[in-house]
Amino acid sequence: MKWDWQAVADFMPQFWDGLLVTLQALALGSVISFALGLVWALLMRAPSRWVTWPVGVVTEFVRNTPLLVQLFFLFYVLPEWGITFSALTTGVFAIGLHYSTYTMQVYRAGIEAVPVGQWEAATALNLPVARTWRVVILPQAIRRVVPALGNYVIAMLKDTPLLMAITVLDMLGQARLFSQENFQFTEPLTVIGVAFILISYLASLLLRALERRLVH
Amino acid sequence: MTPGLWELVLKGIWTTIQLLVLSALLAAAVSFVVGIARTHRLWTVRFLAGFYTEVFRGTSALVMIFWVFFVLPPAFGWQLVPLWAGTLALGLTYGAYGSEIVRGALSAVDPAQKEGGVALSFTPWQRMRLILLPQAVPEMIPPFSNLLIELLKGTALVSIMGMGDLAFSGNLVRLALQESAEIYTYILLIYFVIAFLLTRLMRGLEQKLKAGVGKTPTRGVSAHELKRAETTGVGASSGGGVLG
Amino acid sequence: MSTDIQHNPEKNPADNRSGGELIRLEQVTKRFGDNTVLDHLDFSVEAGKHVTLIGPSGSGKTTILRLLMTLTKPDEGRITVDGEQLFPATEKQIREVRKKIGMVFQQFNLFPNMPVLRNITEAPVTVLGLPKDEAEARARELLDLVGLADKCDAYPSQLSGGQQQRVAIARALAMRPKVLLLDEVTSALDPELVAGVLDLLRDIARTTDITMLCVTHEMNFARDISDQVLMFDSGRVIETGSPEKIFNDPENDRTREFLSAVL
């Protein structure tokens, strides 16, 4: 097994470009999944089955089918319907949508963990329902779910390479491009493999620190 | 969709199922070996097992697949057939998640049970085999069920390597028909049906195992949900809801 | 004590129509499954009175408070508060009537994500539409009244149970309710903190004309503040009268049994 440091050096500029795209996708995907997941969780609490049933079926479907095929679907089908986005936009949306079906369960658990007395106190003070959600229930629920959401961000990080399959040049996309141009696979793939391990390890340390602060 | 194209899809389903079964077996083996090793009395064994878990959980399954397909062959002179390469990459990665499930369930067994084993002067391995595992395994089934669904979704990744699985057959049909909505809808539905069947299968298994140790299966989702992502890493899935 | 929190009878004679009915329950029935908690209950409370509900646990006392606070709905019957119907009623009517009612809970139920001051000002600002600075000024007065003037910026988790309950009382008073419902407000407190909260409530009972409806196991407290005591058993009022009469010379055997067990 030979290792070529020169290849590593040559790959680095592309690596940084890829890292930037990966982090962008991760940041935007996270934001979408946090927001959409909350929407699903709130809709699932609607009093009408006409709301909860479709939302339940759709999210269950999305959660139980491969992100990769969902990416293909959005990437190839949306243009057929006359909707065109950049590959990165499509990918970010797909990741956000996919993970929103996980975050919704986290929110649901967080909301259910708020003691019923909080709802009762809000009723006793005559607070409107929307206000109760916004200033009483959600702030408490979200505080509880931050660690769990953070874990999904780390999980999402490890799914960002899938965007490569729809031509996005994330870390893996750049590594593959470099490999094909230079016929050197080992170095770029190892570099990004190590990068993923390092980033997710650092992220989990960060998350643990955050968790400790929240618990305090 | 012509019959010929459907045949392509059927072949894809068969490849996906083969890959799923093989990598699930490897992942299960890795889960138990590494998970049990993480409760070993020697710190070196615990450290190595923990290191394995951190590394393989830390990396992306797709990067792992690329590595096994492109780096292993020149480095070690192995040229694995795609099915085995896919099995290796998926099994090692998802096994790392599974080892967390095994470790968690083992450490959740009442310490008094272990002390009981010591009192009966069982060897550590006898304690593990006769006392800890029979009680811990039924508790592992719900998180393993989630992990299995994640693994099913993960098998689609090998299509990027050109392996003719279900997702790949979708791409072929798309190219043949120049039309994507229909075929990808079918492909997603097929994955969903497989996931549904797997969930059912695992639920049956859980009931059977729990009956064996005199417990009733629990379907409480909520409380576990906040911790689910930590123990399976790849997140929660189908805790009940429509699939159930 | 500041007069600001009181409903001044001169300014607002309707509030204190002595002898006027403020709360009225007619034939109210509440069931949980097969269990009938309240059985065709009739009872009324006059404005400005302090009424204590006593009785064994499970006799339906707390359910009455929860019905009045609209935390649960009766299965049958009619509830009127201050001449307006609370049940049956539309959501809009309920919101109006509910403004007249405040409640203090056994478990305090302060909002842990808000500092003490915001706990008190949140509802006056959003529900009554009070300007923020006015609401805060009133909140500070109320905190002064409950002896926690220095805790404005503390979070509930930084307070003792007794302090939390006093904040909860201030929070309920901030809405200027005509009726204050007190649901076993000292049951969750450590024994040494009970007296402080009860003294505060005695003060409020003595110096304001807020109608009070208490469920309590503190019989001395009940004796001190009540104008009227209602003895509950199995979803019915089995005896009612002045505290002197109920505590010194109960007529009903069940009342006698209950009192000898708790006193």
Averaged pLDDT of chain B: 84
Q: What is the pLDDT of residue C14?
A: 43
Which positions ≥6 away from C8 have C-beta within 8 Å?
Answer: none
- Determine which of A136-145, B71-80, C102-111, C122-131 has the lowest per-residue pLDDT on average: B71-80
Q: What is the pLDDT of residue B73?
A: 80
* Token pair recorded at residue B111: 């310490």
Number of neighbours of residue B182 by Cβ within 10 angstroms: 13
Q: Which residues pair with C17 in a beta bridge?
A: none
Number of folded domains that form chain B: 1
Q: What is the pLDDT of residue B128?
A: 86
- Beta strands C50-54; C211-215: pairing state: parallel
What's the predicted TM-score (pTM) here? 0.85
CA triple C56-C62-C65, angle to 5 deg: 145
Q: How far is B226 from chain A (nearest CA, A)?
A: 6
CA distance C224 to A28: 63
Q: Could you tell me the CATH number of the domain that includes residue C171?
A: 3.40.50.300
* Token pair recorded at residue C58: 């499970």
- Cis amide prior to C88 (ω within 30 degrees): yes
| Ramachandran category for residue C235: left, alpha or beta (phi over 0 → left; psi -120 to 50 → alpha) | left
How far from B55 is each of B49, B58, B94, B150, CA to CA, in Å? Answer: 10, 5, 12, 19
Residue B179 predicted with pLDDT over 90:
no
CA dihedral C132, C136, C137, C140 (to 10 degrees): 180
Q: Could you tell me the CATH number of the domain that includes residue B13?
A: 1.10.3720.10
**Model ipTM value:** 0.90
Containing structural domain, residue C26 = 3-262
How far from B74 is each of A193, B35, B55, CA to CA, in Å? Answer: 17, 31, 22
Contacts of C98 in chain A (CB under 8 A): 123, 126
In this structure, what DSSP letter does residue A134 have?
I
Q: What are phi and psi of C24, to 5 degrees?
A: -140, 125
User: Please, which pLDDT band fits residue A36 given cuts at 50, 70 and 90?
Assistant: very high
Q: What is the pLDDT of residue B235?
A: 39
Q: What is the pLDDT of residue B90?
A: 95
Contact by Cβ (8 Å): B23, B87: yes
- Determine which of B2-6, B30-34, B62-66, C104-108 has the lowest per-residue pLDDT on average: B2-6
Q: How far is C228 from chain A (nearest CA, A)?
A: 24
Number of neighbours of residue A175 by Cβ within 10 angstroms: 29
CA distance A51 to C36: 34
Say if the Cβ atoms of B60 and A70 lie within 8 Å: no
Number of folded domains that form chain C: 1
Dump the DSSP string for C32-77.
ETTEEEEEEEEEEEETT-EEEEE-STTSSHHHHHHHHTTSS--SEE
- Mean pLDDT along residues B18-37: 96
Chains in contact with A, counting 3 or more C-beta pairs less than 8 Å apart as contact: B, C
CA distance A67 to A53: 22
Averaged pLDDT of chain C: 88
Chains in contact with C, counting 3 or more C-beta pairs less than 8 Å apart as contact: A
Superfamily of segment(s) A20-170: MetI-like (1.10.3720.10)
Containing structural domain, residue B185 = 3-232
Pick C69's closest partner by Cβ from A124, A135, A136.
Answer: A124
A48 lies within 8 A of chain C by CB: no
CA distance A164 to C261: 76
Q: What is the pLDDT of residue B225?
A: 54
Residue spans of beta strands (DSSP E) within chain C? 21-32, 35-46, 50-54, 76-81, 84-87, 101-104, 179-183, 211-215, 228-233, 236-241
Nearest chain C residue to A138 by CA distance is C113
| Amino acid letter, residue B172 | L
- Mean pLDDT along residues C25-40: 89
Beta carbon pairs, A and C, within 8 Å = 57
A22 lies within 8 A of chain B by CB: no
pLDDT in tens, B46-67: 999 999 998 898 889 999 999 9
Report yes or no on chains B and C touching (3+ CB pairs under 8 A). no
* Token pair recorded at residue B65: 């697949």
